[in-house]
Amino acid sequence: MTSVEPERRNSGAAVRDPRVGPPPEIRPTLLEDLRQIVTDIRWSKHLIYQLTLRDIRVKYKQAVFGFAWALLIPIAVVGAGLAVRFAIAFYSGKGLALGQVAGMAVKAVPWAFFVGCLNGATPSLVSNVSLVTKIYFPREVLPLSTILAQSFDSLIGALIVVSILPFLGVTWSWPLLWAPVLLIMLWVLSLALGLFLSCANIFFRDVKYLVQVFLTFGIFITPVMLDASMYGPKGSQIMMLNPVAPILEGLRLSVVHHHNLLTPRMAPDGFIFWRPWYLAYTALWAFGGLVLGALIFHRSERRFAELV
C-alpha cells in the first residue's frame, strides 16, 4: 500500500449537464460517405495488414499441406474439368487439345479465388463477433482483409500456373496484357460482393448457406470447366450475363488464344460468342457494385454491434 494521495479533488464539475444546444443533425451525402470510407480505410492500413497476416498465419500455421492448400481447389477444378472434357471429346470424337487444358488451368485459379473470397468474406463480420461488439474500428477492414488473405493464396496458385503455362503451349503476345485488367476487375467484383454479403449475413444469418449453395452450383453456370462457346449461340449469350463469365472467358481468350478482347470472337461453329461490350458490362458490375456495396455497408455499419 504505497498509494500517494492524488492532487485532484472531488469537484462534481464533470456531471453538470453540458447542454451544448440541440444536437447537430448529421446527414452525410453519398459522396461524403464514400470519402469517409476511403479515409477510414487509409487510416486502418496497419490494421488491415495485421488482420490479413492473421488470416494467412492461422491458415498455414498448423496445416500439413502448407502452401499446397493454395493449389488444392484449382487442381481439383482442372482435374474435374479434364474428366468432363475427356468425356465430351470421346463422345464427339474430336480429341482433347493441349490448348483446352491450358484454358482450364488459366480459369481455375481465378474461379478458386472468387469462391474463396465469397466463402471467406460472407461470415467475416459474424465470426469476429467479439471484435465487432467490443472494439471500434472501421468494419470494412474485416471483409477486406479476408479478401487480401485469399489474394495471397491465389497469388501462389497463379505463379505456379504461370510457370507451367509455357509447357501447355502458351507463348507471349500483346493480348496477354488484358490479363491484369481482367484480374483487377475480378478482385473488385469480389470485394463488392464480399462487402454486400458480409453485411447481409449480419442481418440474415442464412445468407451464408445461400452463398455456399450458389457457389457449389455456380460452376455449372460459369464457364470454368467448359468454354462459353460450348453452350451454343443463345446459351453463350445467357452465360455471359453472369459477371464472372466475361472475366474468365476473357482470360482464356487473351492468354491462350492471343485474342484482342476489343474485337468480337467467333466460335468454331460459326457464331459470335465474345463481344467487346461484355468488358464494359462486367466493369459496371465490378465498380458500380463496389460503390453500392461500400455504401450499403457503411450505412448499416452502425447497427452491426446490436445485431451480431
Partner 1 sequence: MKDARLLFDRVWKKFHRGQIHDSLRDLIPALARQIVGRGASDKELSEGDFWAVRDLSFEVRAGQTLGIIGPNGSGKSTTLKMLTRIMQPTRGYSEATGRIGTLIEVSAGFHGDLTGRENVFLQGAIMGMPKKDIIRNFDQIVDFAGIAEAIDTPVKRYSSGMNARLGFSIAAHLGPDILIIDEVLAVGDMSFQERAFGRIRDLANSGIPVIMVSHQLDRIAELCTDCILLDRGEVVARGTAAEAIAAYVQSHDASRMVESTGIVMFDTLELEGSGIVRSGDHFSVHITGRTSVELGDHIEPILVRVRSMRTGTLVFVTGSKWRDFSLPGPGPFDVCLQLQANLPPGSYMIEVAAEDLNLHEDIASATSVMMRVTDARTFAGHIQMNAGFSVNGA
Q: Which of residues 239-298 bind partner 1 (CB under 8 A)?
A: none
Answer yes or no: are the C-beta atoms of 121 and 194 closer than 8 Å. Answer: yes
| Contact of 51 with 141, CB cutoff 8 Å | yes
Query: 237-259 burial string, b = 16+ CB within 10 Å, else e?
Result: bebbebbbbbbbbbbbbbbbeeb
Q: Which residue number, 89 or 131, has a Cβ lying nearer to partner 1?
A: 131
Question: Out of 30, 32, 39, 49, which residue is the one contacting partner 1 (CB under 8 A)?
Answer: 49
Does 213 bind partner 1 (CB under 8 A)? Our answer is: no
Helix, strand, coil in percent for the chain, rounding step 5: 70, 0, 25
State which residue, 35 or 299, has the beta carbon closest to partner 1. Answer: 299
Grid coordinates standing for 91? 463422345
User: How many residues interact with partner 1 (rule CB under 8 A)?
Assistant: 52
Q: Per CB under 8 A, does 135 bind partner 1?
A: yes
Tell me if 302 contacts partner 1 by CB under 8 A. yes
**Cα 176 → chain centroid:** 22
Task: Select from 13-21, 157-165, 187-195, 292-300 the region that touches partner 1 (CB under 8 A).
Answer: 13-21
**Judged by CB under 8 A, does residue 64 bind partner 1?**
no
Q: How far is the CB of 298 from partner 1 (least distance, A)?
A: 13
Residue with cell 448457406: 209
Q: Is 46 in the site for partner 1 (CB under 8 A)?
A: yes
- Asked if 104 touches partner 1 (CB under 8 A), the answer is no
Q: Which of 89, 131, 179, 221 binds partner 1 (CB under 8 A)?
A: 131
Distance CA 221, CA 80 (A): 15
DSSP 181-204: HHHHHHHHHHHHHHHHHHHHHHH-
Q: Which of 34, 36, 41, 53 binds partner 1 (CB under 8 A)?
A: 53
Q: Of the ranges 44-52, 66-74, 99-107, 147-155, which one interacts with partner 1 (CB under 8 A)?
A: 44-52
Give CA–CA dist 102/255, Å, rounded: 9
CA distance 267 to 252: 13
Question: Which of 40, 89, 119, 137 is in the footprint of partner 1 by CB under 8 A?
Answer: 137
Residue selected from 206, 213, 262, 270 as contacting partner 1 according to rule CB under 8 A: 206
Q: Which stretch binds partner 1 (CB under 8 A): 161-169, 212-220, 273-281, 300-308?
A: 300-308
CB of 33 to partner 1, least distance (A): 15
Binding flag, residue 118, partner 1 (CB under 8 A): no
Please compute, for residue 252, the number of CA atoms within 13 A of its CA located in the half-sphere on the CB side: 25
Q: How many CB atoms lie within 10 A of CB 307?
A: 14
When asked if residue 27 is in the footprint of partner 1 (CB under 8 A), the reply is no
Q: Using CB under 8 A, which of 2, 29, 92, 171 touches partner 1?
A: 2
Rounded distance, CA 30 to CA 2, Å? 56
The C-alpha atoms of residue 195 and residue 207 are separated, in whole angstroms, by 13
Q: Which residues are near partner 1 by CB under 8 A?
A: 1-20, 23-24, 46-47, 49-51, 53-54, 57-58, 61-62, 130-137, 203-207, 210, 302-303, 305-307
